[in-house]
Chain A
Amino acid sequence: MGVTLPILILALPFFMFLLLGIGGVKMSRKVAGILGILGMGTTMTLAYIVAFTYFFSGDPAFILDGVRQQFQVFDVTWLAFTEKLVVKIGFLLDPICAMMLVVITTISFMVHLYSWGYMEGERGFQRYYAFLSLFTFSMLGLVVATNIFQMYIFWELVGVSSFLLIGFFYRLPSAVSASKKAFIVTRFADLGFLLGILTLTYFTDTFNFVDMTSNPMNVLAETGGATFMGASVLTWAMVLIFTGGMGKSAMLPLHIWLPDAMEGPTPVSALIHAATMVVAGVYLVARMFPVYCVVDASMTFVTVVGAITAFYAAVVACTQIDIKRVLAFSTISQIAFMMVSLGVASTGGVGDGHHYTGLGYMAGMFHLFTHAMFKALLFLGAGALIHAVHSNDYTKMGGLRKYMPITHWTFLIGCLAIAGIPPFSGFFSKDEMLAAMFNNNWIWGAWMTMVAGLTAFYMFRLYYLIFWWEENPDYAHHKPHDAPWQMSVPLIFLAAVSCVAGFIPFGELVTWNGAPYHIHLEAPVACTSIIVALAAIALATKMYMKKNDLPTKFKNALPGLWTAAHRRFYWDEIYLFITHKIIFGCISKPIAWFDRHVIDATMDGFAKVTQKVSFAIRGMQSGNVQAYVLWYFFGALALAFITWICLL
């Protein structure tokens, strides 16, 4: 494959960014919107072409006797730290990359289209599209990275574009603080990422993924068994790198920025905080998968973090009022799902064991794909609802199914998909993941099945509270209605995808080592998960379909737990305490004080002392000439005496 298309895929969104960002001021909204959508559409088409060529062309560069290859389309030097450590900007084409290309461009295009309707009449429309293009560019650059440093570069860029988009309504203080929070938290995580890169590449002497992942044992050897505080250096490196992933993918305890990120426009949440950017962490782990597999400790770390987060987020999601926050927490929980399934996967093993070892990886990626689709769908649906009701709050909704049929049906499909009900896409991916977990250790399986159940529960709780429950009296004078076509088309499209995506033979396309993998349903696992899901849905139906006082009963049954969950177990409070009280109060302020009152004062002190001395000795100049003569005479004598004593 020539370099033209790949370069265009990267260049086009960036060009659109510059065009809309600089020229946008002069453009009308219509022009800007159309330009943005066209640009994105073109990028999508190109991305599709590339992806399909990779998967189906059968070109030996891509697939060699049945094994899909990693192919560096181009790799140009950007910055050479040393002879060996050279940062390159390149385009690495391999299964996950191709898949991500599809996901990103599709969702991004849908969001572009959707936003045309949704952002109608917002100030800074052009700026909005510019930022969207910037984000798409950064995200594409991230997934096609040939080396970890390129990934870091675009990692930062997606961070900043997310900052810009969250803070799009920058007149609202809440939006500003949310964007700040998002940036700083992820930045903090990226510090870990950076240190990880430093540590790792200090030994590997290369940034390149292929070099590192092709023979991971070699990486281990290069570290020469160096250890730090008990753990091997490689473990440290991988864990630190994973920290970066935790930040972007909102794993506990770095998850706090994601719920607030919902302050941004809803399509943005759909694109960035549901489908693409937040899975960057997963993608990172998948990229470095073989190296992670070398050090079990780091894999365990990934699994544990994922498991805890998944459960935590699911529980919190059950108690949120703001529909976007519910979706946000469900996103966190789903991503944690993927983390766990990566964590339980491994490269090694033989025979029957070998059948499962790679499963987690495949399933994780599969879920990444399906989740992107249905979660984007859900968010866009939520957007349509908010657009109709002008509120994020389900208490302002209820009984909307009559008023907004399209939204209703698409939303329902999304819920079914995420709940893991066949034949919707979510079922297949989740089933594979659970299978992998059970295979690794039944505890993980059981635990995550429970989380799956919770997922089904809170999603349907949400669904019922929005579309059933009881009608909001306000509808009388303000009748909600379905969104304009620009918004409905994406909903329908994504809904369709969510229905069929499950039947994609994913194992044929994306596996950790490129060798095809034949999916077959694990009957026991599938059954349990379906049963659990159905039970959860039934419960939700019981509680929320018609207006009743069961929910309040539950709430009052365990008030402490409910409030805690509702307040997201007080993580924000903890962070506020740390930042404001500790960082600002106990470090910055004292340092600033110290600077002014100790160091600066010392410098001024020199001047003051000199002044004082000069006043103290003025008596010497008494104006009486005999005193002068005395000084003269005894000064001379003293000089003589001292010299005499010193020398003789």
Chain B
Amino acid sequence: MDYSQFGAMLPELIILGIFLIVFLADTFSPENGKKFLTPMTTVLMLLATVAIWIVPSCGEAVFGGMYVDGPACKAMKCVLNVGAWICMLEAAKWVESDVMYYRKGEFYELILVTLFGMYLMISARHFLLFIIGLESASLPIAALVAYNKDKYESHEAAIKYIITAVFSSAILLTGLSFVYAFSGGSLYFSDIAVQITSGEMSGLLIFALTFVLAGIGFKLSLVPMHLWTADVYQGAPTSVTAYLSVVSKGAAAFAFFIIFVQVFGQVYSAAWEWMLYAVIIATITVGNLFAMRQKNMKRFMAFSSVSQAGYIMLGVMAANQLGMASMMFYILVYVVSNLGAFAVIQMIEDRTGLVSMDDYNGLHKTNPYLAVAMTLAMFSLAGIPPFAGFFSKILIFTSVTSHQNSMALYMLVLIALINTIISLYYYLLVVKAMWISADEPKIGAFKSGKCEKVALTVCVLGIVFLGLVSYVYKYFIDSVGAETLLALN
């Protein structure tokens, strides 16, 4: 077999390379060498991101079409990379703490492995490869969630995560097995797409679809597959939570889009449009309803991320070039906004161990910069101009409404819009705590580490400029347009 095919998998190779370097350095470097681990990894990740972005993809299908790395895939991988990189920066302070000191290598390795899995999920054009990617993206996370050995919550979160994860992968496999029944003997996306047409819709197919949707929706924490989210986010170490909430969710979203549009695109209106319709409404609404009364910041962010997942899914609903590009843009913005928020949460948790919203009262008196960053993040998440969130929201709505004559989709957007009011309410609660509440601040002033500074700066810059600079969105549109192997209209 022709090993030059591996050359087409450049991004994966890069990640693997970093993984190996970190692994070797971790294993063989002397004790004092460990301190280089963090800078090295972060720098390498940055370089990797740039490299993946710059080096043109061959864009051809390799391994008999199992693997494709088109421009769009590459863009997605960049997005994920950025996310992972910021997560690592944020985690830096935490991994340097002495409980973590000897295990930080593993932390980076696990992250890199999951990232590798996600790359596969995105690039896979065959369900076998997809499943491998999915599993290698989700199993290590269980280990990450359980990372705080001495915290009970961490264990509980881990067990909840792993149990739901394995169940959902079982469901996914079952679903796929039924899909296979329709697939005409091949698990290639393209072949299945040829076989499955709205011509012979059957109950079995619908069940299969639902199971697939549930299996992938689990990682996106779509309602009703979302219940693990809050507990896991709360229990997991904050950097892991951040990683879970943006990167793994983003990867799942991309995969979701690719599979549903490319494989089941034929039966869009016949089968899964309405499923997704219901799921999106449920996700956004339930997420909001739960988020609005949370006091623990991490739980709060968990539910907010649930409802955000609903908005992300709108891109899949649109199921066209605009939809995909808007979704990518939305996720990028979501990455910077959410990570910005998490950066603040984590710093505060590291320094003071406080995670309750009430502890943030009067934050602007002691840590004005953190307060400002948090405020911007919240505004961006709530979709308020001139911050990036506004643009990502309105763009994704635009993509959905592009189905000009479907009143149903307009109503869907209306519901989503009305939900933004609720979300605005609870995001403003945080702002209120930080700026308006008159109580004495519980959190003393503290200095933040270099990496955290960098991470926060990157996030804030992203929040402020991503929307105003239209280049990013244009880049996504073009890359999606150039993605030949995606059957997009």
Contact = CB atoms under 8 A, between A and B. Distances in A.
Interface of A: 607, 610-611, 613-615, 617-618, 620-621, 623, 625, 627-629, 631-633, 635-637, 639-640, 642-644, 646-648
Which of A613, A618, A633, A637 neighbours the largest number of chain B CB atoms within 10 Å of its CB?
A: A633
A602 to B, nearest CB: 15
Given A617-B286, A636-B225, A640-B211, 18 more contacts: A607-B425, A617-B289, A618-B293, A620-B227, A621-B227, A628-B164, A629-B163, A629-B167, A631-B224, A632-B164, A635-B214, A635-B225, A639-B275, A639-B278, A640-B210, A643-B274, A643-B275, A648-B202
Contacts of A607: 425
A643 B274 CA distance: 7
Contacts of B209: 640
B368 to A, nearest CB: 30
Nearest to B159: A625
B289 A610 contact: yes
A617 B287 CA distance: 11
Nearest to A626: B163
Nearest to B214: A636
Contacts of A644: 203, 206-207
A615 B294 CA distance: 11
Contacts of A625: 159-160, 163-164, 228
B201 A648 contact: yes
29 contacts: A611-B292, A614-B289, A615-B293, A617-B286, A618-B293, A621-B230, A625-B164, A628-B160, A628-B164, A629-B164, A631-B227, A632-B168, A632-B224, A632-B227, A633-B171, A635-B214, A636-B171, A636-B213, A636-B224, A640-B207, A640-B211, A643-B206, A643-B272, A643-B275, A644-B203, A644-B207, A646-B274, A647-B206, A648-B201
Which of B206, B227, B228, B289 neighbours the largest number of chain A CB atoms within 10 Å of its CB?
A: B227
Nearest to B279: A639
Nearest to A623: B231
A28 to B, nearest CB: 53
B51 interface: no
A643 B270 CA distance: 10
B300 interface: no
B164 A640 contact: no
Interface residues of B, number: 39
A4 to B, nearest CB: 59
Contacts of A635: 214, 223-225
Contact of A647 (B271, B290, B292): B271
A614 B293 contact: yes
B196 to A, nearest CB: 14
B488 interface: no
Contacts of B171: 632-633, 636
Contacts of B164: 625, 628-629, 632
A647 B279 CA distance: 17
A643 B168 CA distance: 20
B476 interface: no
A632 B214 contact: yes
B67 interface: no
Nearest to B203: A644
Contacts of B290: 614, 617-618, 621
Interface of B: 159-160, 163-164, 167-168, 171, 201-203, 206-207, 209-211, 213-214, 218, 223-225, 227-228, 230-231, 270-272, 274-275, 278-279, 286, 289-290, 292-293, 422, 425
Nearest to B292: A614
A67 B274 CA distance: 89
B227 A640 contact: no
Nearest to B422: A610
Contacts of A623: 231
A13 to B, nearest CB: 55
B300 to A, nearest CB: 13
Nearest to A613: B289
A633 B211 CA distance: 9
Contact of B274 (A615, A621, A629, A647): A647
B298 to A, nearest CB: 14
Contacts of B228: 625, 628
A646 B210 CA distance: 14
Contacts of A633: 167, 171
A646 B201 CA distance: 12
A613 B293 CA distance: 11
A536 B290 CA distance: 91
A632 B160 CA distance: 13
Which of A640, A642, A648 neighbours the largest number of chain B CB atoms within 10 Å of its CB?
A: A640
A623 B202 CA distance: 36
Given A613-B289, A636-B214, A639-B278, A628 B227 contact: yes
Given A613-B289, A629-B164, A643-B271, A636 B211 contact: yes
A614 B159 CA distance: 27
B463 to A, nearest CB: 27
B207 A642 contact: no
A623 B171 CA distance: 21
A80 B158 CA distance: 78
A621 B302 CA distance: 13
A636 B272 CA distance: 13
Contacts of B218: 632
Contacts of B227: 620-621, 627-628, 631-632
A619 to B, nearest CB: 11
B98 to A, nearest CB: 32
Contacts of B202: 648
B227 to A, nearest CB: 4
Given A629-B163, A632-B214, A647-B271, A642 B286 contact: no
A635 B270 CA distance: 20
Nearest to A635: B224
A647 B213 CA distance: 17
Contacts of B425: 607
Which of A610, A617, A628, A646 neighbours the largest number of chain B CB atoms within 10 Å of its CB?
A: A628
B476 to A, nearest CB: 30
A627 B163 CA distance: 12
Nearest to B224: A635
A640 to B, nearest CB: 4
A642 to B, nearest CB: 7
Would you list the 4 A-B pairs with minimal beta carbon distance, nearest first?
A: A635-B224, A640-B210, A628-B227, A636-B214
B434 to A, nearest CB: 22
A232 to B, nearest CB: 52
B216 to A, nearest CB: 12
Contacts of A620: 227, 286
A610 B210 contact: no
Contacts of A629: 163-164, 167
Contacts of B210: 636-637, 639-640, 643
Nearest to B269: A647
A347 to B, nearest CB: 67
A610 B171 CA distance: 33
Contacts of B223: 635
A610 B285 CA distance: 10
Contacts of B275: 639-640, 643
A646 B408 CA distance: 15
Contacts of A636: 171, 210-211, 213-214, 224-225
Nearest to A615: B293
Nearest to A637: B210
Nearest to A633: B171
Which of A628, A635, A636 neighbours the largest number of chain B CB atoms within 10 Å of its CB?
A: A636
A648 to B, nearest CB: 6
B249 to A, nearest CB: 17
A648 B200 CA distance: 11
Contacts of A647: 201, 206, 270-271, 274
A543 to B, nearest CB: 77
Nearest to A620: B227
A389 B404 CA distance: 87
Contacts of B224: 631-632, 635-636
A267 to B, nearest CB: 58
A627 B231 CA distance: 13
